[in-house]
Each structure stands twice: as C-alpha cells, then as structure tokens.
Structure 1
Amino acid sequence: MSTSSLSALAAEHLEVARTSPSGRSAHTVVGGHTRTLRQTLIALLGGQTLDEHENPGEATVHVLSGRVRLTTRDTFWDGETGDLIVVPDARHTLSAVEDAAVLLTVAKLP
C-alpha cells in the first residue's frame, strides 16, 4: 500500500503545465489503461481545454484547485476547489476557467 499527497502532485503538475506548450500535464495516480479503476491527476492552465471525448465508464472529476467547466452538447457544470462533478454518459469537454488541477476517477465498463 502506498500514499500520495494530491496537493503536492497538483502543485508539481501545474508547474509542469506552465512550461508545457500544451498548457497541461497529467499523471496516473492509481491503475491504468489495463485496469478497471484509473485515477489521473490532470493540471490545466486557465483557458486550456481537453477536447471533446466519450466517457469510457463511470467517472468523476474532483477539483483539487482552481475552477473548471465540464460541458456536454446540452448543458454544463462548473466546479471549484473541493467540488466533485459526476461525468455524464455523453461526449464532453473539460475546460480550465483558471489554472486548475483535478483528479479524474474512471471505472471502465466491461
């Protein structure tokens, strides 16, 4: 068993995002593509967006710092530090309203 400081990882990856041409950084904290459960820390600079994509299973976005907006064709949800957004079963984007770090948790459907 291991432990990780999500606050420290968020700060570290926001620094990486600041020097990255894409304005973002990501790190798999738990699991991976071959596992059912995957948790990924994602850091995005303000104004950056993860392009529209499908939800590969049940998923949540826990906002560790900053503000984000999750958008589908029909609606959107705003989240700020401490908020948990349940990702809908629909194509969606995730945008950073300001510099933000989130923990994406996905349980892939069989």
Structure 2
Amino acid sequence: MQPDNLDQQVRTLGDAAAAASNGRSARMLYGGPTATLTQTVIAMREGARLGDHESPGEATMLVLRGRLRVATQGQAWEATQGDLLELPLETHAVEALTDAAFLLTAAKVRQRAEE
C-alpha cells in the first residue's frame, strides 16, 4: 500500500483546477464505483461551483485549503481550512469562496437485492 500525501494532492489538483474551464479538479483516493466508502480530493478555484446535487449517502467534507460554502434550499454553511462538515442528505451545492480544496468522504447507500 502506498500512502497518498494530501498536501501534494491539493497542490496538484489546485493547479489543474486553475487551468480547467469549470474551475474544478478531483481525484478519488479510495474506493470506486462499486465501493461503499469513497474518499475524493476536490480542488476548486475561487468562484467555481458544484451545482445542486444529492449525496449518495452519508458524507463529510474536510476542508484542506481555502473557504467553501455549502447551501441547501433553506440553509447555508461556510467552512475554512480544518473544518469538518457533515453534508446534508438533501439537495445541496458547493461554492468556492476562495481557491479551495476538500476531502469528500462518502458512504453510499446500498440497496439489498430482493430475495
């Protein structure tokens, strides 16, 4: 097993986000399409946005750099470096208030096969 250095990921993805037309870049560090648990580093340049979407299950956001806003239809939360947010299960959006990066940890809800 090879460790992933989050500081290096933030630098690399931050550079990629700065050059991307949508202002974002991401890399899944753990998990995959069939895994229950996933961990993804997402970098966003200031003003970039992840539009309205729903969580696939329980999820947290650990801010690694910068300042972000998470908003639902009725509430908004701001978080800065070092903050850990529990993401709402309802539809929400994420906006980078400064150049920012976060570690998204998600535990997807799995449906049991009917027997």
Which of the five TM-score ranges fits, normalised by the shorter chain?
A: over 0.9
Bigger-Rg structure (1/2): 2
- For the pair 1:82 / 2:82, whether they are aligned, the reply is yes
In the TM superposition, 1:10-49 aligns within 5 A as: 10-49=10-49
Give the letter aligned to residue 35 of structure 2: R
Q: CA deviation at 1:2?
A: 2.6
- SS across alignment from 2:28: strand
Residue equivalent to 1:103: 103
Moved over 3 A (4+): none
- SS across alignment from 2:50: strand
Q: CA deviation at 1:34?
A: 1.0
In the TM superposition, 1:52-67 aligns within 5 A as: 52-67=52-67
Q: Given the two structures, how large is their TM-score scaled by the length of structure 2?
A: 0.93
2:94, 2:32 → 1: CA distance? 20
Count, aligned residues: 110
1:61, 1:17 → 2: CA distance? 18
Q: Deviations over 1:4-40 (max 9, x none)?
A: 1101100110001111111110000100121000111
- SS across alignment from 1:106: strand
1:33, 1:105 → 2: CA distance? 14
Among the aligned pairs, what percent are the same residue?
A: 42
Gaps of at least 5 residues in structure 1 are: none
Q: Given the two structures, how large is their TM-score scaled by the length of structure 1?
A: 0.97
